[in-house]
Amino acid sequence: MRFLFLLNVFTLIVSCQIEDKSWIRLFNGKDLSGWEHVGEGSFEVVDGMLITKGGMGLLWYTKQKFQDCKIKVVFTGQDKNNAGVFIRIPERPIEAWMPVNKGYEVQIDDREDEYHKTGVLYSMTKAKAKPSMVRKWNTMVITLDGNRTLVEVNGTLITDFVEGNLVPEKKYSWEPDRGPRPITGYIGLQNHGLDDLIYFKEVSFKKLKS
């Protein structure tokens, strides 16, 4: 019995290690290979991290569109800083506002109400729970499963949205247009403004199991 127990524990450990290795890194920690910036501001690579500079702009991954996968973003920042992770962008962006209106922004910000908190689809979904934000590094996992989008922050489910679910009406000009988003799309990271400073040390993805 003890042997079987130890074997099961070993199998679980190995499985976790294999799962971790299944993540494919999109940011190589060295430069912006595979990424392109549009809009104002920029991103810099410093000590293996992507750092926002000015705004508003978007750093998007050029090599492929994404569907039926998990996207992992590891980030940190000071209180009252603003950024976002963009998903389901239908076309190659040539400016920063098309992704706002045609894709979804997964928010990184904790200054406003429940429709504008870290982990929600900006101004469209209400946070299902309050994430436990840590001072050092936070992990956001976005699951794209057909027309369903799930967002977890540090293991807490914040968003579970299916195309067609009711969303609040658009209140302000800077909020995204309402309407369906594609199943397949590009992804990107937002640099928001002159006073916002967010650090990203990992952007990875892995396909959902078939």
Q: How many CB atoms lie within 10 A of CB 145?
A: 14
Percentage of the chain exceeding pLDDT 90: 76
pLDDT digits (tens, 9 = 90+) for 122-154: 999 999 998 877 768 999 999 999 999 999 999
**Domains in the chain with CATH codes:** 26-207 (2.60.120.560)
pLDDT category of residue 18 using cuts at 50, 70 and 90: very low
The candidate with the shortest Cα–Cα distance to 57, out of 26, 31, 86, is 86
Q: Are 174 and 98 in contact (CB under 8 A)?
A: no
Could you report the per-residue pLDDT of 86-121, keeping only the tens digit for each? 999 999 999 999 999 999 999 998 776 889 999 999
pTM given for the model? 0.88
Beta-bridge mates of residue 191: 57, 83
Distances (CA, A) of 11 to 17, 20, 23, 103, 128: 10, 14, 19, 40, 34
Question: What Rg do the C-alpha atoms of the chain give, in angstroms?
Answer: 18
- Tell me how far apart the alpha carbons of residues 71 and 77 are, in angstroms, rounded to a whole number: 19
- Which residue would you say has higher pLDDT here, 80 or 154? 154
If you average pLDDT over every residue of the chain, what do you get? 89
How many helices (H) does the chain have, and how many strands (E)?
Answer: 2, 13
Q: Is 110 helix (H, G, I), strand (E, B) or coil?
A: coil
Rounded percentage of the chain residues whose pLDDT exceeds 70: 89
